[in-house]
Structure 1
Amino acid sequence: MDIKTLHDAGFGNLTTAKTAFDTLATAFGQHVENWQHDVVDRLNHSEWTGTAAGHATTRIQTLHDELHAAQQEIGLISRALHDAAEGFAAAQAHLISALDDAKAQGLTVAPDGGITWDNDPNSLTFAGHGAPEHAKDIRDRISAALTEADHADRTISKRLAHFTTNASNATGLDSTVATNDTAAANALEQVPAAGTDPNSVQDWWNGLTDEQQRRMILNHPDQIGNLDGIPATGRDQANRINLQRSKDTLQRQLDALGPEPDMFSGGADSNGIPVKNSHYDDWKKQHDDLVDQMNGINAIEKRLNTPVDDAHPPTFLLGFDNAGHGHAIVAVNNPDTATNVSTYVPGTGARLGSISGDIDRSDAMVASANAANRKAGDFTTTTSSITWVGYDAPQNLVPQAADDTYAKNAEDKLHGFEVGLHATHQGNIANNTILGHSYGTTTIGYTMKDKGLPVDNVVLIASPGAGVDTARDLHIDPSHVYAAQSQADMIGMAGAVDPGGLADNFWDNLKGEYGFGDDDHHLIHGRQTTVPEFGANVLPTDPNAGHSDYWNNGSPTLAAMGQVIAGR
């Protein structure tokens, strides 16, 4: 598709053809009705019996089914032509808009897409000092419009070719084929249910024209934004809508709460102790929860709107809702186009309101991976790090962080997300890493143990146990399992509670007293991931690092994470 072809294209013939097929479908439908009334019904109510009558009834019913199937196929061709006209018209409108804006800004667009302008400040037609930036924007918009037209052309051509084949070989007369074709056409207008296989979702999405995709985003952002198998750019557009809607709703709820009530009612009990206002605690809890979520939204907005530079790559909002404590998935760099992709799963306390620090960690890991690549002389490889707060994480150490239910409940969500990354990636992901911190490692471990994950590496930072006894139980080559835990990290005090772990710890302690202990140790969710018996590669740490210090500037663990993510 080129500029002139799209600009000059007339879609009247498509509309005319669509109208003709509508007319044909109506006339054909009337013919089917007449056939039903004049032939089928009469035969069924006749008194004709016998072998010949049976054969005739069967053949006539078959013919009736074939006529009905043909009517359905004719109607589906009309729908395809409508979608074609709509898709091409939208692409053409976007192209014309870009060309009109170029003319208004003093830019000249050549037929091959080249853009020139008057660069003389003393000239009456001087395009201005911002011309280079304007030209880049126009060039991008023209390219997007041509790509949109190409996509519409491929999509509609495939659909029409299918119906042409059905008509030429008579498969379109099969009622099962017509029913399946109708279901497929209807499915294009319906968002797949949550939990649908991401590869099927991707096939559905690719079957839509760009204009249909835009409508889905605008009309169903809550479904599209959180659906694995939708490309990152589409999810991002939908979730920005979700983000703004949730922000408006939260603000209305905050306003409705009114001012903070007095903590005490003004009276005192028999002991002279002030009586607490019964409404204060309820107000305080609601207020603090709303403010916490609003803080998370503001942090996401701030990062999304940060000007792009070397230290701040573009970000994409791949998931968002404010149910419960809220969820969000934020990618630094586009995971669909990045060479290497890493997903970071935070642990206890992870929620919408605390996501700011987790996004900072993704920024740090991208920078660390870039540093590893530059050190190897590679200045072209790109890395995306995704902060995945897509599950309900425990919010306190006791009792929630001791409960593996949070990890088990996250398995389907994490598995679907990782499969979705491969479904939407442009080509194969060169190096795919899953990385968790604290309870996030438990979530990863349970998912890998029970469902497997399509990843090349797993990194377990400050793990209280990954729900498995050895690295090989994660269903990945143990040489690609990495773990880190500082000797100053108090997570090492999260002792086992299960009988097996308690027995192993008792036995190891007993051996230690006699000088032949091997430091094997079980924590609350399984064997410590840094002991030799677990079988992971142990990453370097700052011996004084606390539980949340592994991403500090200069941290040897952060440098090692970058090397793993970069495949170095």
Structure 2
Amino acid sequence: MKWSDITDWEESTLETEYQQLCIREKEAEDWGREILELNKSTSWQGDARKAADKRVEEIDQDVAQFIVNLRAMKTATSTMQQGMGAVQGLVRDAKAHAEGSGLTIYSDGTVEDTSGTDWGDVALSTAMNPLSYALPGAGTLISAGTSYEMNKAARQKAVDECADRVDEAVKKANEIDEAYSQALSDIEEGKVKPEGSLKHTVDGPLPMPQDTSDTRAVAEWWDSLSREEQERLADEEPDRIGNLDGVDAWARDRANRHRLDRDYEDLNSRKESNEKKVADYEKWKASAAIGVPAPCSADEYNRAKSELDRQAELDKLKTALKQGAQYNGTSQLLLYDPVEPGENQDQLHAAVTVGDVDKADNVAVHVGGLTTSVDNNVVGYTAEMANVAGTAGGNTASVMWFGYDPPQAGAGSNGLFTVSETERAAAGGADLSHFLEGLHDSRQGSGEGGDPRITALGHSYGSTTLGYALTQVRDGVVDAGVFYGPPGVPAKDVSDFNVPSDSVYVMKNDQDIIGAVPNKGPMGMAPGSDMTQLSDPTEVPGIQHIEGNHGIDPGTGLVTGILGPIAGAGYEGYQDHVNYFDSTNYQDADTQKEIHKYLRQQGLPETDENVRAETQRRQQENATSQQREVSKVVNGTK
């Protein structure tokens, strides 16, 4: 299989086949139940009865085999679909890289620089020098010859990176194609067997899927278990259930609370000794006493300091869960994934809800960007998205998804400069698409709360992550998408997203500092970043616009621009990048005191119901104009 074979792959290609297999499975199960009823109502005996029973038993076995074959074929097809979605995302990423860098990908997968740019001329032009583009005037500090070599190396780096993306897409396509072929061969060769009788096959629990990334298969397995079996798994095997996309939210929360409590208790058991170790070491270091031995080694100090920091982060996570539940009685921990030694993971991954995701009519899922982490943002984002949900009204839940490693401040492999690269966004987008599919699929079984309206929101670098997710997520999962404060998305048209084309929105404040991030220009021709190879969503055809803040200086009444110091007073570049929604935390102690005082002044009982009603009144009253419009997207009234 080569590049030209996979450029048109789409996850939806096999959807008709999958749905037909679902119908056939249901018909076969109904047929099996009818067979189980044969001869039950008759009392005749003798050789004929024995012969009839034997024949019914043979039919039982044949029907059980037919059902498990259908199930195996359905699971293999669903897994292939998800794999095709991943390939689709990889192909789009490679194409975006090529188009943004002036490269051509040929049908055999080879990549060539076809920009036609004379980099000798570029080297002589300070205006076109990548270094001077980032730091005006710095181009004069290096020679034209050095600049030529820098540009030439940048071009080759772009070609090599694009070729790597092509190879990754082709490799993934071959892997899933081989796995699908093998699964179908196993069925044909009779290697798939029922685990018990026809009754067990029809009415018993399904086996747990081998590929747990298939959220539909996971959801069907979970729904086949009794409530008692589900509770037992959540309590006894929390590491297996807590982060399993497709499992009901109540069970994931129950399992992850066990895991959170276990980790917190472990850290807390060493808190006093860690505090003493850190205090003694820092006191010794500050004293700079000559000849006085350190109270512990540097490694011991660093380990103790790290454990105290981890515990403080878990305290914030517990606070967010507690405050989240105070809005409407329920908060759930849908993801809890601490960093383990040797893992390729930078920070704690988590997902916190305000509201019951199993029962909500509307679910808003938020993903943050640069410097986002549980430690920095979980309490603030929980309050902010609770305000969006409160403004939306009705039975609306919000989810704060911290399920990837966005760039952070500082240097290093995950430092500030990685914000110009898309690798982390692409990896996070793949995980986010599975999470979204899991939310949707967990609500599709009999007795579930019905199909919720899912709106996905991405801020800043998180909007790029969301863009990758929406190019891979299965059709019919996400009902609306909102990019706000976005640097770029991997799409040329709204139809590139697997979301209804009339339900994708972008929002950018006039003073948002993100407006200074170039999606075009010299850095696009002499690529120093992947972000310049993506599209500005404010210019993508078909994406609808939500009006942002126009940056009116309240003091002068003048419009200020992105070049704040030049444009004049009132420039709020960073603030206007983060202040799209009301960020008031209505659950902090001071605000709660105000709410209780107000209720007393109004002569109203200070019941939980009245406190929540007054909180929602304030959420709606204090909502920003952007928040009101986004809330309409969330509840489906826009």
Task: Report the TM-score, using the length of structure 2 for normalisation.
Answer: 0.52
- CA–CA distance in 2 between the matches of 1:293 and 1:471? 41
Measured against aligned partners, the alpha-carbon deviations of 1:401-433 in whole angstroms (never above 9, x if no partner) come to 222111221233212211112212235435321
Alpha-carbon distance in 2 for matches of 1:214, 1:276: 53
In structure 1, how many angstroms separate the alpha carbons of the residues matched to 2:308 and 2:547?
Answer: 38
With 278-287 and 558-567 compared, the bigger mean Cα shift is at 278-287
Task: For residues 241-273 of structure 1, give each alpha carbon's deviation from its aligned partner in whole angstroms, at most 9, with x where no partner exists.
Answer: 11101212333465564522136386599xxxx
Instruction: Work out the number of aligned pairs and report it.
Output: 382
Question: Is contact 1:411–1:451 with CA below 8 Å preserved after alignment?
Answer: no
> Are 1:558 and 2:611 matched, yes or no?
no
Question: 2: CA distance between counterparts of 1:533 and 1:278?
Answer: 64
Matches within 5 A, 1:483-522: 483-496=506-519, 501-502=524-525
**More displaced, 319-328 or 160-169?**
160-169
Q: Which residue pairs with 1:431 in the alignment?
A: 453
CA contact (8 A) 2:546 2:629 kept: no
Q: Does the CA contact (< 8 Å) of 2:337 and 2:350 recur in 1?
A: yes
Amino acid aligned to 1:209: S
Shift of 1:308: 5.5
Shift, 1:501, TM fit: 3.7
Tell me if 1:302 matches 2:312.
no
Whole-Å separation in 2 of the counterparts to 1:345 and 1:307: 17
Q: Structure 1 172/470 Cα, relative in aligned 2: closer, same or farther at 3 Å?
A: closer
Distance 1:422 1:534, change over 3 A: closer
1:352 partner amino acid? V
- 2:353 maps to 1:336: no
- 1:444 deviation in Å? 1.0
Residue in 1 aligned with 2:494?
471
Task: Specify the alignment match of 1:546 in structure 2.
Answer: 576
Distance 1:283 1:401, change over 3 A: farther
Per the alignment, residue 416 of structure 1 pairs with 434
Cα separation, 2, equivalents of 1:559 and 1:420: 28
- Distance in 2 (alpha carbons) for counterparts of 1:256 and 1:495: 50
How big is the shift at 1:336?
A: 2.1
SS at match of 1:259: helix
State the Cα deviation string for residues 260-318 of structure 1 (Å, max 9, x = none). Answer: 2136386599xxxx999897875665455434433332233234345956x44421111
Q: CA deviation at 1:452?
A: 4.9
Closer/same/farther in 2, CA of residues 200 and 214 from structure 1, 3 Å limit:
same
Partner Cα separation in structure 1 for residue 257 and residue 195 of structure 2? 33
The structure-2 alpha-carbon separation of the partners of 1:538 and 1:503, relative to structure 1 and needing over 3 Å to count, comes to: farther
Matched, 1:345 2:367: yes
1:540 alignment partner, SS class:
coil
Q: 1:237 aligns with which of 254, 276, 298?
A: 254
Contact 1:435 1:459 in 2 (8 A): yes
SS of the equivalent of 2:353 reads strand
Structure 2 counterpart of 1:537: 545
Q: Which of 207, 217, 236 matches 1:200? A: 217
Distance 1:478 1:248, change over 3 A: same
Aligned-partner SS, 1:433? strand
Cα distance in structure 1, aligned partners of 2:234 and 2:441: 19
**What letter corresponds to residue 335 of structure 2 in structure 1?**
G
The answer to whether the 8 Å contact 2:216/2:246 transfers is: yes
CA distance in structure 1 between the partners assigned to 2:293 and 2:533 by the alignment: 41
Aligned to 1:375: none
1:264 maps to which residue?
Answer: 285
CA contact (8 A) 1:435 1:460 kept: yes
What is the DSSP-based 3-state SS (H/G/I as helix, E as strand, rest coil) of the residue aligned with 2:264? helix
Aligned AA (2:352)? V
Match of 2:404 among 363, 387, 391: 391
Q: 1:460 aligns with which of 455, 458, 483?
A: 483
2:229 is aligned to 212
Cα distance, 1:189 vs structure 2: 9.0
| Of 224, 246, 249, the match for 2:266 | 249
| 3-state secondary structure, aligned to 2:350 | strand
Quote the Cα distance in structure 2 between the aligned partners of 1:351 and 1:193: 31
Q: 1:307 to 1:341 in 2, by over 3 A?
A: closer
In structure 2, distance between residues paired with 1:562 and 1:275? 62
What SS does structure 2 have at the residue aligned with 1:468?
coil
Output the amino acid matched with 2:285: F
Query: Quick one: structure 1 residues 284 and 524, their matched pair in 2 at CA, closer, same or farther if it must change by over 3 Å?
Result: farther
Q: Deviation at 1:400?
A: 2.3
Q: For residues 493 and 281 of structure 1, what CA distance do their matches in structure 2 show? A: 42
Measured in 1, the distance between the counterparts of 2:295 and 2:625 equals 51
Relative to structure 1, the CA distance from residue 476 to residue 189 in structure 2 (aligned partners, 3 Å threshold; closer, same or farther) is closer
Identical positions, percent: 24
Cα pair distance change 1:264/1:383, threshold 3 Å:
same
C-alpha contact 2:421 2:531 (8 A) present in aligned 1: no
In the superposition, relative to structure 1, how do residues 497 and 560 fare at CA in structure 2: closer, same or farther (>3 Å)?
A: same
- Taking the aligned partners of 1:356 and 1:339, their CA distance within structure 2 comes to 24
Q: Distance in 1 between matches of 2:626 and 2:309?
A: 30
User: Which letter maps to 2:516?
Assistant: M
* 3-state SS in 2 of match to 1:213: helix
Task: Please say if residues 479 and 537 of structure 1, whose CA atoms lie closer than 8 Å, have aligned partners that are also in contact.
Answer: no
CA drift at 1:232: 1.1
Q: 1:279 to 1:561 in 2, by over 3 A?
A: farther
Matched, 1:170 2:58: yes
Shift of the alpha carbon at 1:321? 2.0
Alignment check: 8 A CA contact 1:422 1:428 kept = no
Do the aligned residues in 2 keep the contact of 1:496 with 1:526 (CA within 8 Å)? yes
Instruction: Give, in angstroms, the shift of residue 456 of structure 1.
Output: 1.5
1-side partners of 2:512 and 2:324: how far apart? Answer: 36
Q: Quick one: structure 1 residues 494 and 203, their matched pair in 2 at CA, closer, same or farther if it must change by over 3 Å?
A: same
**Do the aligned residues in 2 keep the contact of 1:296 with 1:356 (CA within 8 Å)?**
no
- Highest RCO, 1 vs 2 (Cα 8 Å, sep ≥ 6): 2
Question: Counterpart in 2 of 1:442?
Answer: 464
Aligned partner of 1:19 in structure 2 is none
Retained in 1: the 8 A contact 2:457–2:463?
yes
